[in-house]
Amino acid sequence: MSVIVSRTAGFCMGVRRAMEKALEERSRTPDTLFTLGPLIHNPHVLDILRRNRVLEVSEESAEAGSRVIIRAHGVAPPVRRKLAERSCIVIDATCPKVARVQKMALRAGEAGRQVVIAGDKDHAEVRGILGHALAGGVCISTVEEARSLELDSPALLVAQTTFSEESFAEIAGALRGRHLDIEVQDTICDATSERQEEARRMALEMDAIVIVGGRTSANTRRLAEIITGLGTPAFLVEDEGEIPPEVSRYETIGVTAGASTPNWLISRVAERLVEMQARGVRWLLWRCLAFLVRSNLLVALSALALTLLSVLWQRLQPGFRVLAVPPLYLFGIHLLNTFSESQAQEINEPAQKMFMQQNRAWLMPLAWMSLGIALLLASLGSLWAGVLTASAIILGLLYQVRIPFARVQLIRIPGSKDLFTAGAWAVFTCCIPALIAEGRLLPSAFMASAIVFSITMVRALAYDLKDLQGDRMVGKETIPIYLGMRWSSVLSTSLIVLAAGLATVALALGVFPPAGALALLLPAHALVYLRLFQSRRVSGAVLFSATVDGFFPILGLLALAFLP
């Protein structure tokens, strides 16, 4: 049994660009923003936008002087003129590929050519293109309409960017056979073509396909039509709550999505499908894994594993305090942070939020108890270990509140959470054990800290990339949002190379013992899970966390075998 997520599922370039423009404008002004019609065809995203005062408006009701966003579909020139007459501040989010088709129609109209559009007559994109066709335009949707269409002048045939490739080819063939003086331009978006082609391939390979997207989305409905046309059961859902129970009986399920579907919805649907497929022992294993991830116990196990590796690297004696303080602190502070991120969880991981709410009565006291015991054990082990632990706890508690006499909150510093998190992992798994065991920091402690910092920064960036679209919706300023996906990937790769280089140098110089070669498995693991994430082989928050953090306990067991 398996769930396979389409590589091309999710926001297309035009929709992503429109969303980014809207959210950037939202962050710059306190004014209410308006979009000419729904910004994208997805009810969940639209609901979040409305809560953030990004509201839909028609061209007739746009108020004078208001900020109006032209969505990716574009608009006709008369609409732009009306907005200008009302002194509206226009934010143009027209998809560049749609704008290209509009320019084609405009040039054809100026040359006296009639414009024929293969598309959906009532679609906003089609209306916008028709508005640019000065010599007149017509929209057709079927090959039958093409066979009956009479053209009395030279013509240009273009396509709605999300139209069916097969239908366009049939329409083009029918028109070419009847009208010699017609220029054909295939303007279907490459992303649409790739999405439809992958849907066809998946339909032939999978037992059933779940399509995630809004029912008002033309390209989402088209995916469903393509799949059902090939005889494969297809289920169109808007979220994980709409998945019908009968889907679970299929062995191999594919997941694809329309161009207006955010990654967080795709991830939630995929995770729900994995859960629905689980039976017997597999169901029990899934429940245990979900519990470990959602309770942050997997974080504690990962912290213990990295502490064991650090003890091996630094040749320390693995006493109780040495091994207990790091997982206790990191478990407690991660748990408190999870409680404080309810807004982002509502979008990215609603199952996590529900788990935290249902188990708050014992998880919250457990978090504070873990921090208290960590502080006590650190203080008993070493004065400086106690000071560092107390400082880290205070810093963690102040992270989301306004510090007296400070102008900004720490949480408002872009990327601060990732830097503080990686720093905390490095200090507690490498420096605190050394201070407790030896009372001082040796060169091996600094080398170990640098490796752990690099690896845990990559870990933090991976989680940020997974939650990128949801974090952007709630206004979080993570490193991928600040730098962009491309430079974040470059940063992740650089950190992996740095960790591998540091481990190699430490082994070559004898700073680490020969068994410390286990350190080289950390950057190798990071490369693997980043590759799996990029290829969408890991579906859902639980499996993602298990893939990223689940390898650390295995390394910890290996390190344990080499400890005295």
> Domain boundaries in the chain?
10-95, 98-188, 191-288, 293-562
What confidence tier does 1 reach under pLDDT thresholds 50, 70, 90?
low
Give which of 78, 57, 52, 79 is closest to 67, Cα–Cα. Answer: 57
CB-based contact 37:124 (threshold 8 Å): yes
CATH 3.40.1010.20 is held by the domain 191-288: yes
- State the pTM of this model: 0.86
High-pLDDT (> 90) share of the chain, %: 67
What would the pLDDT profile of 117-142 be if each residue is shown by its tens digit?
999 988 999 999 999 987 678 999 99
Query: Please, is 281 exposed, middle or buried when counting C-beta atoms within 10 Å of its C-beta (0-12, 13-18, 19+)?
Result: exposed
Do 256 and 195 form a contact (C-beta atoms < 8 A)?
yes
Q: Which residues contact 378 (CB under 8 A, 6 or more apart)?
A: 321, 325, 329, 385, 386, 388, 389, 432, 436
**Residues in Cβ contact with 412 at an 8 Å cutoff, skipping those fewer than 6 apart:** 477
CATH number attached to the domain at 293-562? 1.10.600
Contact of 553 with 327, CB cutoff 8 Å? no
CA dist 307 and 327 (Å) reads 8
118, 350, 357, 370, 375 from 364: Cα distances, Å:
58, 18, 10, 10, 17
What CATH code would you report for 10-95? 3.40.50.11270
Q: Which two tokens stand for residue 515?
A: 């068994």
Query: What is 98-188's CATH topology?
Result: Cobalt-precorrin-4 Transmethylase; domain 1 (3.40.1010)
Same fold: 98-188 with 191-288? yes
- Whether residue 24 lies in the annotated active site: no
Strand-pair partners of 183: 156
Which is the catalytic residue, given 20, 24, 125, 166? 125
What pLDDT, in 10s, does the model give residues 476-534?
Answer: 778 898 888 889 999 999 999 999 999 999 999 999 999 999 999 999 999 999 999 88
